[in-house]
């Protein structure tokens, strides 16, 4: 405990500064006590007085706090990011006072007025408490927090509601003292409120979808395997760690948005590797077929324009970490996994919040041709938004109910009015048989291109349930091979022709029944070509499961061949 000699000035000065005496007494057991009785490593062996390391009753620096230190004169590099809605400024007010120690440019023992004899020198701060003059990796300070800012940002509490422990200064600015009370460490790191369950952060920040989200409520804990996701944190669950799962207010490894580790994808994957979250997403991303999250690191920027952005994919392109939840939905609506995520609508227009799951996919797959198409078709459109557009003659029912009112092969409960998700097909290969929106997602698969089950993209495929497992997830195999409907059996079993030879699984802009002939397969082999006799390459829908083809495939001329149940017209034989 400090002596009576040092306690009296502390009481007097505390009263003079409007500090409660019991608050001044709280300093005794904190690291801000630099007297011989202080608990830290940086203390002064000479009796100076508890408060004199910061305050002096006379000849103080020109501030309201009777400051006993030189004020920083150098310029700082303030925080900035593409999502910041204020103009960064130089530190002012209380923040400038805090930095007179925490920027590390002046030793702690360098006071304006030391009582009596000179004090022994105390060095500069070290470790995480040393912020330096580069504040780009620290929470912004000294900006005006007014109603205009709250409205412009859209995810900030009205400043009029800040009537709790977090306070603005006299100029309505956020300062270091808005979050830290230098006179009390009732909460660790001199915070004014608990950080458990993000309590301190949500005093100002009201992120859309946070309340009830997985990251706000999950009781998942680290299982002790691999890297510790929360080094230095005192809590054991995702919910308790709150914002600190992903962000850190000071000395952030990735300055923009104060991300807690680098590279950026590790912020998510340190938990989503099976060691905290139940699903091992990292294990999916290293499969042969996967979204290139790791390969396109550091490109994503939250306000990016999908029309102009460099092609990439990051977790936050598909998931909003502040809003993600386990809430289910029915196609085509977004589920809790994709709430409050930006998208692109059917017209190709970027939108702030996707309402339908396919709008999230269209940010990458709906604005341009595929960068590396697997196959080449008669109509070689690879923009999925255009392939599945409801104005087409046919399409899988992702963006709208399908055009065919009589699809006899559908497996119940699917009907002609059912809708499906992109991830009903593009999903991890080791997912359980999914129900409504229980897919694990298109993170990675052994089946290309990131498909849940086998779907051959090459010619000459031996027909089997396993070979066409993806098709037979929704379509009854026996019914498809029923010769009274169409000669699927002749094509699949007798000729080893793959489904992909005739059908484009996303949709066809030129024909009904997803007919869009495969010109070259994934190996570059020519599959369907124009008829040698007629020069034509086309399909004609004659209605009621009847069709006529002009083409050459597997050396067999169709010039034309008409398929009418058991009655086949072979004009070219």
For the stretch 495-532, pLDDT in tens is 899 999 999 999 999 999 999 999 999 999 999 999 99
Of 488, 367, 473, nearest in space to 426 by CA: 473
- Name the average pLDDT for the chain: 89
- At residue 463, the pLDDT reads 87
Out of 44-48, 186-190, 202-206, 343-347, which region has the weakest mean confidence (pLDDT)?
Answer: 44-48
- The pLDDT score that the predictor gives to residue 434 is 53
Residues 158 and 278 in one domain: no
Mean per-residue pLDDT, 227-251: 96
Same domain, 169 and 269: no
Cα separation, 559 vs 223, in Å, equals: 65
Identify which of 206, 212, 198 has the alpha carbon closest to the alpha carbon of residue 339: 212
Q: Exposed/middle/buried for 253, CB within 10 Å: 0-12, 13-18, 19+?
A: middle
Residue 42 confidence (pLDDT):
86
**Helix (H/G/I), strand (E/B), else coil: 422:** helix
Q: How many other CB atoms sit within 10 Å of the CB of residue 410?
A: 15
Q: Are residues 132 and 46 in the same domain?
A: yes
**What pLDDT is recorded for position 486?**
67
One domain for residues 65 and 152: yes
Whether 208 is in a domain gets the answer no
- Residues 246-276 pLDDT 10s: 999 999 999 999 999 999 999 999 999 999 9
What torsion do the CA atoms of 133, 138, 140, 142 make, to the nearest 10 degrees?
-40
Indicate if 182 and 248 belong to the same structural domain.
no
d(CA 355, CA 4): 67
Q: Write the burial class of residue 427 (CB in 10 Å: 0-12 exposed, 13-18 middle, 19+ buried).
A: buried
Closest of 528, 548, 530, 531 to residue 539, by C-alpha = 548
Same domain, 87 and 174: yes
pLDDT at 121: 67
Q: What is the pLDDT of residues 297-319, one digit of tens each?
A: 999 999 999 999 999 999 999 99
Which of 241, 269, 284 marks a domain boundary? 284
- The helix or strand, by DSSP H or E, that contains position 22, with its residue range, turns out to be helix 21-26
Domain containing 259 equals 214-284
Residues 25, 125, single domain; the answer is yes
pLDDT in tens, 61-114: 877 789 998 888 889 999 999 999 998 889 999 999 999 999 999 888 888 887
Same domain membership, residue 181 and residue 155:
yes
Cα dist from 62 to 164, 313, 479, whole Å: 29, 52, 88
pLDDT at res. 19: 43
Domain count, the chain: 2
The reply to whether 49 and 75 lie within a common domain is yes
pTM for this entry: 0.90
Q: If you average pLDDT over residues 460-472, what whole number do you get?
A: 92
Structure tokens given for 83: 């999502």
Kindly state whether residues 182 and 53 are assigned to the same domain. Answer: yes
Asked if the model's pLDDT at residue 489 lies above 90, the reply is: no
User: Which tens digits make up the pLDDT trace of 19-68?
Assistant: 444 555 678 999 999 888 889 888 887 767 888 889 988 888 877 789 99
Helix (H) or strand (E) holding 564: strand 556-564
Residue 119 has pLDDT above 90, yes or no: no
State the pLDDT at residue 48: 73
Residue 173 and residue 230 in one domain: no
Q: Are residues 176 and 49 in the same domain?
A: yes
- Return d(Cα 534, Cα 551) in angstroms, integer: 8
Could you say which of 269, 284, 299 is where a domain stops? 284
- The label of the residue with tokens 């949500």 reads 202
């Amino acid at each position: 405990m400090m002596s009576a000699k040092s306690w009296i000035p502390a009481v007097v000065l505390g009263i003079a500064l409007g500090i409660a005496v019991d608050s001044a007494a709280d300093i005794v057991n904190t690291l801000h006590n630099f007297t011989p009785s202080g608990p830290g490593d940086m203390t002064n062996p000479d009796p100076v007085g508890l408060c004199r390391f910061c305050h002096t009753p006379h000849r103080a620096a020109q501030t309201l706090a009777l400051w006993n230190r030189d004020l920083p004169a150098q310029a700082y590099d303030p925080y900035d990011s593409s999502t910041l809605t204020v103009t960064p400024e130089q530190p002012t007010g209380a923040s400038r006072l805090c930095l007179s120690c925490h920027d590390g440019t002046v030793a702690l023992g360098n006071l304006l007025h030391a009582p009596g004899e000179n004090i022994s020198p105390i060095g500069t701060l070290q470790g995480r408490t040393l912020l330096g003059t580069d504040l780009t990796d620290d929470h912004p300070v000294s900006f005006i927090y007014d109603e205009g800012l709250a409205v412009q940002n859209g995810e900030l509490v009205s400043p009029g509601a800040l009537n709790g422990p977090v306070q603005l200064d006299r100029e309505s600015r956020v300062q270091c003292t808005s979050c830290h009370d230098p006179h009390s460490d009732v909460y660790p790191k001199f915070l004014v409120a608990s950080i458990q369950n993000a309590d301190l952060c949500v005093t100002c920040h009201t992120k859309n979808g946070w309340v009830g989200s997985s990251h706000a409520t999950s009781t998942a804990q680290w299982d002790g395997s691999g890297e510790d996701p929360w080094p230095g944190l005192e809590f054991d669950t995702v919910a308790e760690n709150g914002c600190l799962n992903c962000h850190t207010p000071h000395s952030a490894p990735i300055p923009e948005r104060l991300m807690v580790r680098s590279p950026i994808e590790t912020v998510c994957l340190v938990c989503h590797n099976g060691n905290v979250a139940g699903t091992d997403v990292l294990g999916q991303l290293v499969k042969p077929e996967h979204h290139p999250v790791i390969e396109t690191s550091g490109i994503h920027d939250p306000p990016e324009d999908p029309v102009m952005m460099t092609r990439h994919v990051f977790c936050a392109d598909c998931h909003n970490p502040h809003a993600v939840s386990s809430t289910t939905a029915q196609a085509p609506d977004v589920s809790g996994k994709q709430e409050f995520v930006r998208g692109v609508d059917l017209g190709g227009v970027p939108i702030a919040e996707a309402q339908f799951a396919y709008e999230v996919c269209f940010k990458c797959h709906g604005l341009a041709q595929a960068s590396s198409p697997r196959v080449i078709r008669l109509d070689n459109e690879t923009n999925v938004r255009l392939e599945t557009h409801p104005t087409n003659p046919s399409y899988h029912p992702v963006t709208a109910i399908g055009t065919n009112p009589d699809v006899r092969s559908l497996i119940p409960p699917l009907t002609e009015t059912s809708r499906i998700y992109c991830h009903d097909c593009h999903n991890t290969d080791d997912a359980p048989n999914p129900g409504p929106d229980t897919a694990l997602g298109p993170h990675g698969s052994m089946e290309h291109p990131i498909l849940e089950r086998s779907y051959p993209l090459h010619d000459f495929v031996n027909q089997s349930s396993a070979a066409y497992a993806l098709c037979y997830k929704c379509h009854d195999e026996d019914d498809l091979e029923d010769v009274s409907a169409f000669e699927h059996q002749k094509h699949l079993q007798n000729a080893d022709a793959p489904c992909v030879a005739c059908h484009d699984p996303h949709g066809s802009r030129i024909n009904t029944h997803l007919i869009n002939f495969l010109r070259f397969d994934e190996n570059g082999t020519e599959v369907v070509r124009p008829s040698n006799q007629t020069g034509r390459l086309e399909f004609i829908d004659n209605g009621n499961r009847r069709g006529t083809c002009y083409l050459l495939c597997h050396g067999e001329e169709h010039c034309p061949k008409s398929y009418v149940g058991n009655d086949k017209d072979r004009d070219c034989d």
